[in-house]
Structure 1
Amino acid sequence: MSRRGPLPGLRSRLTAASAVAVAACLALAGCGGGSGGPSGGKGEITFWDGNASASGTPVWQQIIREFQNRNPDIKVKYVSFPIAQAQQKYDTAIASGGTPDVGLMSTSLLANVAGQQALDPLDDRLAGSPLNGRLSPKLLELVKAAGPDGKLYELPQTTNTGIVWYRSDWFKEKDLKPPTTWNDFYTAAEKLTDAGNNRFGFTIRGGAGSIAQALEFAYAQSGIPTFWDASGRTTVNDPRNVAAVEKTVALYKKNTPSADVNNDYLKMNAQFDGGSIGMMQHNLGSYIDHQKALAGKFAGTPVPPSPDGTYVLLSNPVGGLSVFKKSRNKDAAWKFAEFVSGREMNDLWNSKVGQIPANTESATAEWVKGNTTLETAVKVLNDPQTKIVQMPYHLPEFNAITKAESEPLYQKVLLGQMSAKDFLDRLAAKLNEAQAKYKQRRGD
């Protein structure tokens, strides 16, 4: 899954334009109140893949073929669209009553979709499934925390984690240690920079998707283990996070290209794979691109631990399948979701895309051991000492706050037009307001 979800649509807007929503839904293949068919785990189901990609789509098609071979009484109708459209597609379908039977979900989308009472809780189904006890407890916890009421509205399949990718050949040339500590990281950023020869130690993500990465570096350096403090207010603007953001931003134009202020993932990735960058911050999802461009010349390590040696990781979206409430064939929809998170298909999907499997048996498979970066990431994620800072995906406003509202402000910080403290204070104020509204809605 790509890091973070798209901006959530608001149900009120869709309701106000219900005629448009219905028309749009009818125009989308596979929409129309579930695919029907007989209940009892037979018939046809519609599956929406809301993260269509050149690498992922063929894997889903292979999984579907295998599922149908083993379940000849069930036909899976496959509908795919890019992740940037996922929230809009789901919101439109919910407003018109034309949801699929089962859909690819992410914890970054879950609060909004489940909050509209569009999904079935899966707790009881999992309790009676052979999968019970075979899925990562941490990922199950993250999925439940992302929903509106602590129930399981998504069966985990995969997740990601922050990685510092680095040019191992450059490090060898300069006799540098891999960036497994913050001191090593900042030392390397300085020593790898040779601006006259268009070589820079690091590349900052200043454009789309920048806030999640800025916060990931902040919490990892500060060591603050929770997004909310004991009083219920966000820790985003804690002085330790402010200091960490200031330190990262100080690299801009000194050890990074000046064009980084507009960097989205694609631009950042192109710079690294093109040979002008020594280190980049992303996640496991970019492994395949680096392997194609830099095989044997790069390596990756989890984002370094905090000063006391504890890993503090910002939660990445957990991907998986959700069963929609309006499905007329929930048993078959669940059977497909269960199949996807089973050992064999979890191996297939995650080995192809290079991500962390939700299935604990898959996490110890040989294919994981063959990818040193992934193996290390799995160990760090599953280490009992590792702290996971749960991003507040439960807030319907979260994506809007951290994207459309905050990304332009972070660019001002990079350009020296706003202080890191002012930026984080404004972000904190928005998050505290959204959290207060959330608690009010719940009656807390």
Structure 2
Amino acid sequence: MGTMARGRMQLLLSLLFISAIAVGCSAKDNQSARSNQAADNKPGSGVEAASGAAEDNVRLRMMESLTNPQRTGILKQLIAQFEQENPAIHVELISPPFDQADATIETMLATKQDLDVIEIREINVADYVNKHYVEPLDAYTAGWQDYATVQQIPLTVGSVNGKLYFLANGLYERQLYYRKDWFEKANISPPSTWEELYEAAVKLTDPAHNQYGFAFRGAKGSNGTFDAMIRTYNGQEINLTDGAFLTSGATIYSTQQAEEALTLYKNLYKDASPQESVYWGFEEHVKSFTSGQTAMLLQDSDVIQTLQSSMKPGTWATVPMPKGPSGKSLITVGAAGWGIPSASDHKAEAWKLIAFLSSPENNIKFGKAYGLVPIHTTAAADPFFTIGPYKTLIDMTNDPDTYLYYQTPIKYPGNNEWSKVSTALEQEMLLGKATVQQTLANWDAYWKEQQRLMQGK
């Protein structure tokens, strides 16, 4: 199926899902609280920012984006607890299929349908703000007693132009997972740099026994690796507030350091990865690690539970993201979280639900159950996150001088297409149809055009 056909099919499925949601749903309760009204609630929840009293029997419609059965079950448990503590508020959780969720949410926002709490992602928050779909949360967080322990990174990820539009429910941070038993048998230390990673991967590769050093991912999502390498090799020259560009204004793909990084990336595939991995996505490259085919895996923290359930204890461990020649590593985080649609008639009650879900107790509970890094600094004192595979993530967060956090270029119109565009060009390079230099030139041209579009030239 072609790209346009897939797009039309996705839109059709989203519209059908929206129609199904609408069937049987009653009209909004016109007596329920408006956006300038606040629910009766405990001191410190932040809804004191609004005035007035909430009406009884409010129905909140909440839609998640990163849907899967395990995660939905965790949310339902937390919502049931919220409803028990707030009997006048009923929450209807809507869980679209994952591959339709974002399109469904955007369509409902565009048509001002009945939604009160939505899951927003770092990849679409700027677009939602530009289209005036979502409400700033700053007036609510100003009176929220738990705001003081929220880390800076989730606040940065959820903000656009200095205003907070979603409160993350957890952070998707990347680290290196490695086969501890393989490394010990080969008497190799776990790598701390990209060059060391390549050298270790080559040493651990034995094609005759279907054993390879690296769980390569050449298909969808591959830019998570080659972009990380290119940024890290550019080091402190990166514009940390605009991650596709250097402080000079040039793109990150225009430098000699970018050529060194992409050459190493190509060699990592050629010398230490299964040849078919040029076509691997998320599931394939994770499975190659859990099945014992590959020795190293770069992934977010949500794979930890998969590894724990499918691998023997003591056979694997984690280390921080590799550093580049400058001794720095450029890192970012993925995040999704809760926001309030501008068209909601129940903003105060919606915030009350968000504050409940985002409390240190419930946010940490959600993180433990689903394998995410919590947003509160108090998680650093919890043994669950200070011992074992999560410790590496906390260590990186606590060392901002070495692990430099950058913001992804979400404000550019072509950012959402970057993964698809860059992967197609990357695969051509890996298959010998383009050189490293030609690939970088194409990527450089892409982002120069994005820059031109933003500047209106």
Range of TM-score over shorter length: 0.7 to 0.9
Indicate yes or no: 2:208 matched with 1:196.
yes
Residue identity in the other structure for 1:182? W
Contact 2:117/2:341, CA 8 A, preserved across alignment: yes
> Would you say 1:56 and 2:38 are equivalent positions?
no
Whole-Å separation in 2 of the counterparts to 1:306 and 1:248: 13
1:117 aligned onto 2:117: no
In the TM superposition, what whole-angstrom CA distance separates every residue of 1:211-267 from its partner, at most 9, and x where no partner exists? 122211322344244322234342233221221111011122421101011000001
Q: CA deviation at 1:22?
A: 6.7
Whole-angstrom distance in 2 between the partners of 1:88 and 1:32: 23
Deviates more, 1:84-93 or 1:201-210: 84-93
1:300 equivalent among 279, 299, 318? 318
Q: Sequence identity of aligned pairs in percent?
A: 25
> Which region of structure 1 is more displaced relative to structure 2, 329-338 or 183-192?
183-192
User: Is the CA contact 1:160–1:318 (under 8 Å) kept in the aligned structure 2?
Assistant: yes
Cα offsets for 1:348-380 (capped at 9, x unmatched): 11111222111112233222123x231221121
Indicate how the Cα distance of structure 1 residues 418 and 369 shifts in structure 2: closer, same or farther if over 3 A, else same. Answer: same
How far did 1:33 drift? 8.9
Partner of 1:135: 150
How many residues align structurally?
Answer: 421
Which amino acid is the alignment partner of residue 411 of structure 2? H
Q: Which residue of 2 aligns with 1:413?
A: 429
* Aligned-pair CA distance for 1:396: 3.5
Contact 1:207 1:264 in 2 (8 A): yes
Q: Give the distance between the partners of 1:35 and 1:178, measured in 2 at CA.
A: 59
Corresponding position of 1:218:
230
Q: Can you list the C-alpha shifts for 1:63-97, whole angstroms capped at 9, x where unaligned?
A: 11121122222111011124432331122112322
The structure with the larger Rg is 2
RMSD between aligned residues: 2.6
The change in CA–CA distance for 1:404 and 1:376 in structure 2 (over 3 A counts) is closer
TM-fit CA distance, 1:150: 3.0
**Does 2:195 match 1:152?**
no
> How far off its partner does 1:37 sit?
6.2
Residue 50 of structure 1 and its aligned partner are, at CA, apart by 0.7
2:327 corresponds to = 309
Query: Once the two structures are superposed, what CA deviation does each residue of 1:139-185 show, in whole Å capped at 9, x if it has no partner?
Result: 212322xx3x3321111221122211111111111111012233431
The 8 Å contact of residues 171 and 178 in structure 1, kept in 2 or not, is answered as yes
Please report the TM-score for the alignment, with normalisation by the length of structure 2: 0.85
CA contact (8 A) 1:52 1:80 kept: yes
- The unaligned stretches of length 5 or more in structure 2 are 40-53
Q: How does 1:271-282 map to 2 (within 5 A)?
A: 271-282=288-299
Q: Distance in 1 between matches of 2:122 and 2:270?
A: 34
Looking at structure 1, the residues matched to 183 and 233 of structure 2 have their Cα atoms a distance apart, in angstroms, of 22
Corresponding residue number in structure 2 for 1:73: 88
**Change in 2 beyond 3 A, CA 1:278/1:408:** same
Distance in 2, Cα, partners of 1:190 & 1:174: 12
Question: What secondary structure, in the 3-state scheme, does the structure 2 residue paired with 1:346 have?
Answer: helix
Amino acid paired to 1:428 = D
Q: Deviations over 1:385-416 (max 9, x none)?
A: 1311211112242021x123221111011112
Which of 84, 97, 116 matches 1:101?
116
Q: Please state how far the C-alpha of 1:426 moved relative to its aligned partner.
A: 1.6
Match of 1:164 in 2: 176
Is 1:345 the counterpart of 2:362 in the alignment? yes
Q: CA deviation at 1:384?
A: 3.2
Change (3 A) 1:186 1:21: closer
Partners of 2:16 and 2:451 in 1: CA distance = 34
Identify which of 415, 418, 438 aligns with 2:454. Answer: 438
2:19 aligned partner, one-letter code: L
What is the rounded CA distance, in whole Å, between the counterparts of 1:209 and 1:181 in structure 2?
Answer: 22
Residue 298 and residue 424 in structure 1: after superposition, are their counterparts in 2 closer, same or farther (change >3 A)? same
Within-5 A mapping of 1:248-327: 248-296=265-313, 297-313=315-331, 315-327=332-344
Matches within 5 A, 1:395-410: 395-400=412-417, 402-410=418-426
1: distance between equivalents of 2:389 and 2:424?
33
- Secondary structure in structure 1 of the residue aligned to 2:102: helix
Give the TM-score normalised by structure 1.
Answer: 0.88
Taking a change above 3 Å as real, the CA distance of residues 303 and 432 of structure 1, as seen in their structure-2 partners, is: same
1:335 Cα deviation from its structure 2 partner:
0.9
Contact 2:61/2:114 (<8 A) preserved: no
- Read off the aligned partner of 1:300 and give its amino acid letter: T
Deviation at 1:305, TM superposition (A): 2.0
Structure 1 residues 34 and 411 mapped into 2: Cα distance closer, same or farther (>3 Å)?
A: farther
Residues 435 and 341 (structure 1 numbering): CA distance in 2 closer, same or farther, change over 3 Å?
farther
Q: How many angstroms apart in 2 are the aligned matches of 1:106 and 1:35?
A: 29
- C-alpha distance 162-35 of structure 1, shift in aligned 2 (>3 A): farther
Map 1:365-384 to 2 at 5 A: 365-370=382-387, 372-384=388-400
Q: Secondary structure at 2:411's aligned position in 1?
A: coil
* SS of equivalent residue, structure 1 residue 179: coil
Tell me by how many angstroms 1:286 deviates.
1.0
Kept in 2: contact 1:35–1:45 (CA 8 A): no
Q: Which amino acid aligns with 2:385?
A: V
Helix, strand or coil: the match of 1:252? Answer: helix
SS at match of 2:199: helix
Give the letter aligned to residue 413 of structure 1: M
Partner of 1:47: 62
Q: Is the 8 A contact 2:62 2:93 kept in 1?
A: yes
Flag structure 1 segments of 5+ consecutive residues without an equivalent: 1-6, 8-12
Are the counterparts in 1 of residues 215 and 296 from structure 2 also a CA contact under 8 Å?
yes
In 2: Cα distance, 1:155 partner to 1:221 partner: 31
Q: Report SS of the residue matched to 2:134.
A: coil
Displacement of 1:23 in angstroms is 6.5
| Alpha-carbon distance change, 363 to 104 in structure 1, aligned in 2, over 3 angstroms | farther
Q: Which amino acid aligns with 1:379?
A: D
The residue that corresponds to 2:141 in the other structure is: 126
Q: 1:270: Cα distance to partner?
A: 1.2
Deviation at 1:306, TM superposition (A): 2.5
Q: For 2:329 and 2:419, locate their aligned partners in 1 and report how far apart those are by CA, in whole Å.
A: 26
Aligned to 2:249: 232
Per-residue deviation, residues 322-347 of structure 1 (Å, max 9, x unmatched): 11111110011111111121101111
Identify the residue that residue 27 of structure 1 maps to in structure 2.
20
The CA distance in 1 between the partners of 2:102 and 2:283, in whole Å, is 21
Provide, for residues 261-280 of structure 1, a one-character-per-residue CA deviation record: whole Å limited to 9, x for no partner: 10000011111111111112
- What residue in structure 2 maps to residue 10 of structure 1? none
